[in-house]
A and B are shown apart, each in its own frame.
Chain A
């Protein structure tokens, strides 16, 4: 009885207050993992207890770049590859803000690769969430800097001849102070990592593997469920693993976990210490 009574008056979705519900359903394809990463991010933001009025989401171009348009808080959809520079500007202009960069691998590491390494070098106080779907999904599935060796895409029909980036190692070498990698299946760990990253200062980088069934999956005979099965079977959680030893090989294993959490003076602190001698 109670069940039928409550079914008549359905309560709102718990994340509806953080979403621009007039734009939902979103544009992401059925089986795409960006929605899951986005929902994890919103849950982490909501449960972190931080002031959401002092939080901003910045995203670049691509499928995951649409996220900034769906969130009902201060958000910024920037030009291609320039999410991190815009976020840096936001943070420097208003150091009280908690800035989250939510973008894809093509945006952050191909056209925006240089910005990424320099923001990590300076230790800008940002949280960077990279949705890695292993190709350029929005433009039709071209090869990206993260496409695995021998994977088929529209621009590499015989298999990718190149080696992909090891993103956590790149972030580590560039000087990021918090690095973790999860898949969309490990949503609870992902939410916890985002929560940690939001509350800490310094450059935090979280890579999230996400299936792209329509562009990457179709050409590699991998349905959305096959990708998730791969994550489940091949995912090896090694917290604190050395970033140079972590792997992303869909046959040998994908190393997941929180790899690094160290403290280093942030860009703003260093600037104040060096240039604002009062």
Chain B
């Protein structure tokens, strides 16, 4: 995410981290998760799943902030995120 101004309390805010999980064989390749991810974590993978669709793949898995938007917009129950066990990135470091 790009800021036009760094928020004043940016160093105090701890950004949560998430891990994206994809159940590839449920995916029908609609691409909603890819288009609407606020951090552009996902992209279509070149491979096919069993139904012949291209499922998404997490190309920038470290960017995930565990917002669950992909999980809620996915019509196929094929993607979800869970909170990462601990943050390896110090608070306030914006990408």
Contact = CB atoms under 8 A, between A and B. Distances in A.
B29 A30 contact: yes
Given A24-B26, A25-B26, A14 B80 contact: yes
Interface of B: 19, 21, 23, 25-26, 28-32, 35-36, 51, 53, 61, 69, 71-78, 80, 82, 84-85
A2 B85 contact: yes
Given A13-B80, A24-B26, A25-B51, A3 B75 contact: no
Nearest to A21: B77
A35 B27 CA distance: 12
Contact of A225 (B31, B72, B75, B85): B31
Contact of A3 (B19, B30, B31): B19
A188 B72 contact: yes
A184 B73 contact: yes
Report, as a range, how many residues of chain A touch the other chain.
Answer: 35 or more
A11 B72 contact: no
Contacts of A29: 28
Contacts of A28: 75
Interface of A: 2-3, 6-7, 10-11, 13-16, 19, 24-26, 28-36, 38-40, 43, 184-185, 187-188, 191, 224-225, 228
Given A30-B29, A31-B30, 8 more contacts: A10-B21, A19-B77, A24-B77, A25-B28, A28-B75, A29-B28, A30-B28, A187-B73
A16 B78 CA distance: 10
A36 B73 contact: yes
**Among A25, A39, A224, A228, residue most surrounded by chain B Cβ atoms (within 10 Å):** A25
B69 A35 contact: no
Contacts of B82: 11
B72 A35 contact: no
Contact of A39 (B25, B28, B29, B72): B72
Given A187-B69, A188-B72, A13 B32 contact: no
Nearest to B28: A30
Contacts of B71: 14, 39
A6 B19 CA distance: 9
B15 to A, nearest CB: 17
B42 to A, nearest CB: 15
A35 B76 contact: yes
A150 B30 CA distance: 27
A36 B71 CA distance: 9
Contacts of A2: 84-85
A134 to B, nearest CB: 17
27 contacts: A2-B85, A6-B85, A11-B21, A13-B23, A14-B71, A16-B77, A19-B77, A24-B26, A25-B51, A25-B76, A30-B28, A30-B53, A33-B75, A34-B75, A35-B74, A35-B75, A35-B76, A35-B77, A36-B32, A36-B74, A36-B75, A39-B74, A184-B73, A185-B73, A187-B72, A225-B35, A228-B32
Contacts of B53: 30
Nearest to A16: B77
Contact of A26 (B25, B30, B61, B76): B76
Contacts of B25: 25
Nearest to A213: B30
A9 to B, nearest CB: 11
